[in-house]
Each structure stands twice: as C-alpha cells, then as structure tokens.
Chains A and B, each alone.
Chain A
Amino acid sequence: MDDAALTVEEGTISALIGPNGSGKTTLFNVITGFLVPTGGKVIYNGECIEGLPAYKVVSKGISRTFQNIRLLQGMSVLENVQLGRDHTLKQNFLDTVCVSKRYREEEKRSKMDSEEALEFVGLSALKSEMAKNLSYGLQRKVEIARTLATGAQLLLFDEPCAGMNTMEKEQLSFLIMDIHKKLNKTIVVIEHDMRFVMKLSKHITVLSQGVVLATGSPIEIQSNPKVIETFLGSARKAVRANA
C-alpha cells in the first residue's frame, strides 16, 4: 500500500471500496494496530496511534469486524458480546477469586450492557445459545453487537454483507443506519456491493493497488472516469470471460 489517505468525518457513514487486493483490509489492519506502517501516520481524535499495539486500540475508541466472521464458537452469544465490554472492566485476579463487590457489580453491569447491545441488533432471545449454533447471518449480527458493546465511537465493518442474500443485505443496511442515527457512531464500511455502498454512505474512498484513486460523495464517485475505468474494466473482463 502506498500513500493511502483516508479521512473520516465524525458522525458519518463512509465507505472504502476497490477491487480485491487493493489494500482495503490492509488499511483497516493498519488503523487497528495489526500492522505497523513503514511510513505515515494514523491520527484519531487528534492523537497519533500508528504503531500502537492492537490490544490498546479498542480503548482508544475504535472497534472492527472481520471479513471472515470471528466469533468464539465455544462460548455463548452473551459471553461473546461481554468480551467486547471487558476492556472497560477494572477487576483483577484478586477481585475474581474473592468475589469482591467490584467483581459482582462489574459483572452485573457487563451483563446488562451486553444484553442491551444484543437487544439493539434484535438477538436478545438467543443470548444463551452457543455461538456455533447460529446461522451465518445471525453470527454476523452478534459480531456487530460485540463492537457496539465495546463502546467504541468509530466502527470499522469489513465486508459485512459477504455471503448474504438480498433480503439480509437490506436488513443489515437498516441496522447500520440505525446504529449511525440512534447511537451516533462513526462508521466505515468496506464493501463490494455497490448498491449497498451508494445507499448507505455519505462519503466514499476508492482504493486501487494500494493507492487512493478518488474520494467524494456517491454521485461524484459514480461519474468519476478513473473509477469507471477501474470498475468497468473488471466488469468487462468478467463479461468476456463468461462469453
């Protein structure tokens, strides 16, 4: 990835699009501390966070989902969401073993907050279910509930629609809009489904081969000749291959 510059305005839904291999997930990995950039900065809320170890990023206020659904299969839905809340808890080993007041209060609050997050995505009925028993679409919702439970202000969703049918995509777009409107979160989505992207986002950044091709509103991007060439080019290749 060279010279990628992504600017996200607080309180908006933005999209990051581009052909496969253009560096979108890499960019997410750099923002969330899973990759250290060889140059450049990541500035969040006025603070430089590039090079910060991955486990410290969530407490700065950034949370993400992954391309492949990564739930802890052997734990219940509620426990998975509680994991998101855990970074806000202060209990230590002694609290846990001595069942201190701090432990009891924190666990109670963590359960309540996690149930709230599950309620928001409409899954409170399944909180005791093992994560591995849920369908793909529901697991994706649990992953989103988990990011809500972290309390992060900036949510990064990496291809949330992957593997979904039209109806599920529609539901997901409403959920994301809900999260944006009711919870006032800033959201960046990586997606390949153009209709989904155009409907949802206020601002789009187009990445190609590790470089920013164009940025702007959906209308601007749709009429940008460079973008049309990149995407139309790959669409033309697909048509020729199938013919």
Chain B
Amino acid sequence: MKKLLSVITESPILLVAMICIVVPWLTKNPYLTHIILMCVIYAILASSLNIAVGFTGLSNLAHVTFFGVGAFVAAILNTRFHVPFYVTLVAGGLIAGIFGVILGAPTLRLKGVFLAMVTIAFGNAMRLLEINWVSLTNGPMGIGGISPAAIGGLTFNRISYIYYALALLILTMHITRQIMKSKLGRAFFAIKYDETVARSMGVNVTLYKVEAYALSACVAGMAGTIYAHYVAFISPSTFTMADSTTVLCMVVLGGAGSLVGPIAGAAILTIMPAVLRFAELYRIVFIGIVMVVGVIARERNWPNIISDVLKRRMLRFSKRKAVENAEAGGQT
C-alpha cells in the first residue's frame, strides 16, 4: 500500500489522472459534473499559461482570448461546414497558435507592466473583432447549434467531455514536464531569469519568446474547442477579461513555473467558489483572502515548513508507538 502511495505521489500526472477518472463516477449530479469539467478546463488553461508566464517570464493578461479563438474556430467550422470534432480540435489549436504568434512577434522588446498592458489591449481588440465581424462570428448574437462531440458513431455525454478534457490535461502536463527537463525548458527559464545570459549562451530569445506564446495559445485553443462542443452555444461575452485574470491568479496562487502548481491553483479557485455558493457575495471576499494568504504563504515557504513540522511529528509519534509495542511485546 505504501509503495503504491509513493508511486502515485512521485508521479503527479498519474495522481491527477486517477483523481479525475474516479471522481466523475462518484456523482450523477449534472451540476457537480459541470464543476469537475470546468475544473479540468481551467487546469488546462492555467497549465498552458504557465508555459509563457511561469517558465519564460512573459506577461499575458488575456490568455482566455486564445481559448475563445479555439471555441470560435470550432463553432464556425462545425455549424457552417459540418466539420467534426476531432478536426475542429486540431484546427482550433493551430489557429489559436497563430494568434499566439500574432501577440508574441510585435511585443518582443516589451517587458513587465508595458507588456501586460499590451496583452490587455490585445484581448480587448480580439473581443471587439468578435463582436463586430458579424459575418464571421455572428457578433453578439453568438453561434449556436454546435453539434456535440462524437467519435465514430458515439456521441459524447457530459461525462465523456470530462475524459476528453482530462486527456488534453494529461497531454499538457506531459509537455510541461518534458519541457522542464530539456534544452527548450532551460532556454525558457534562462529568458525569464536573465535575457543577457540567455543570448550569450546561444539562445535565440526572439524565437523562443514567440514559441512560448504560440505553444500556450495552441493548448488553450484546443481546450476552447472542447468547450464549444460541450456548451453548444458561444458568443463574445462567453470569454471575458475577468476569466483571463482568474486564470493568471490560478497560476500565481498554485506556483508559477512548477508542474502541478497551476493545476492546484485551478482546483482551488474552481471548487471553492462552487462550495461557497451559499455565501453569495462573501465568497468573493473569501477568494480574495485565499489569494493573498496563498501567495504570501508560498513566498515565505510555509507549505514546506508545515510539511517538515508534520513529518517530524509523525516520525516522533511512530517511534514512540514502536517503543510502546516493543515494551508491550516484552511483557507478554
């Protein structure tokens, strides 16, 4: 049993997979199923944003824009040209990736606050495009009647979407983990910590910055495709700047630059508002408090300190138990 536990905790991907596979079977409640799906989708968005923000140190306050691009691509292709799900998935990812390049290429020299402002402008510009290009996107009236995802003859029910999103999440986690152990990852982190060093060590900073944006956009776009088929109706108001900010909060809360951090952040910030539904407006206060405390705790390394203290207590407790058992055994 202990060995199984250690295997699972050592492989975060396996852990996430097991949780997500098991949980949907625990409930038939459609609301809970919806929350779980949204949790997985936000985890994908946070993980993909992590590649640009956590690894490469870029700013992006409009990440949900790429999610929206993927969704619109799926909606347009599906309702007008009857393109099936798995093709829209690829198309959504690719075209969102192109928009990642569109954001990345002109912003290479910007840093910090200035880059953040430009990403906000990008997000707003895209929203205006979606609202006003009525012939393409149907404007504020949105696109409805997106056919549910289907593979072969089998149409997805609600729970199948969770598994499809889970597959994408696991792929994203695999990509993230591989990047962290490769030349690409070292280049990304070098750009984040010190661009001058990166250049002097042969890193083509321009190329890698654009690549970071394109990759994070591509994954977000694929998530958008899944979402479009799930909700069957999307419009420009489905994707807001507030959502982008929430995704960024998930990355920061969970730990930018790590593998599971953004996913933990996504889980906390998706499940908590749902659980706190009863508290109405106070839940926003709770979320704010969690954000502030969470970020401070991570900066001051409280999670590791607490787990060290707990480990020492457990060790002392188990030693005492062993001594007691030995004495009891000796007496009988």
B interface residues with partner A (beta carbon < 8 Å): 174-175, 178-179, 181-184, 186-187, 189-190, 192-194, 196-205, 211, 215, 257
Contacts and interface: CB of A to CB of B under 8 A. Distances in A.
B211 A93 contact: yes
Closest 6 CB pairs of A and B: A87-B202, A54-B199, A72-B193, A58-B202, A96-B182, A86-B183
A87 B194 contact: no
A89 B197 contact: no
Given A75-B186, A86-B187, A107-B182, A70 B204 contact: no
B178 to A, nearest CB: 5
Contacts, number: 85
B186 A86 contact: yes
Interface string A49-77: 00000111111000110100011111100
B56 to A, nearest CB: 13
Given A54-B199, A70-B196, A150-B201, A103 B182 contact: yes
A215 interface: no
A146 B196 contact: no
B285 to A, nearest CB: 33
A87 B175 contact: no
Contacts of B183: 86, 89, 91, 96, 106, 110
A107 B183 CA distance: 8
B202 A59 contact: yes
A84 interface: yes
A58 B200 contact: yes
* Max chain B C-beta neighbours (<10 A), residue from A55, A91, A110: A55
A103 to B, nearest CB: 7
Given A97-B174, A97-B178, A55 B202 contact: yes
A198 to B, nearest CB: 28
* Max chain A C-beta neighbours (<10 A), residue from B181, B183, B190, B199: B183
Contacts of A83: 186-187, 190, 197-198, 201, 203
Interface residues of A, number: 35
A32 B200 CA distance: 8
A143 B323 CA distance: 51
Given A66-B197, A72-B197, 17 more contacts: A58-B201, A59-B202, A66-B196, A72-B189, A72-B190, A74-B193, A75-B193, A79-B186, A82-B186, A83-B190, A86-B187, A86-B203, A91-B182, A96-B178, A97-B175, A103-B182, A106-B183
A34 interface: yes
A74 B182 contact: no
Contacts of B202: 55-56, 58-59, 86-87, 150
B197 A70 contact: yes
Contacts of B215: 93
A111 to B, nearest CB: 10
26 contacts: A55-B200, A58-B201, A59-B202, A64-B200, A70-B194, A70-B196, A72-B190, A72-B194, A73-B193, A74-B257, A75-B189, A75-B193, A79-B186, A83-B186, A83-B187, A83-B198, A86-B187, A86-B203, A87-B202, A87-B203, A91-B182, A91-B184, A93-B215, A96-B179, A97-B174, A99-B178
Given A72-B193, A74-B193, A55 B211 contact: no
Given A72-B197, A74-B193, A55 B186 contact: no
A54 B200 contact: yes
A82 B200 CA distance: 14
B181 A55 contact: no
A161 B192 CA distance: 27
A146 B199 contact: no
A107 B205 contact: no
A94 to B, nearest CB: 11
A117 B208 CA distance: 26
Contacts of B179: 96
A55 B205 contact: yes
Contacts of A89: 183
Contacts of B199: 34, 54-55
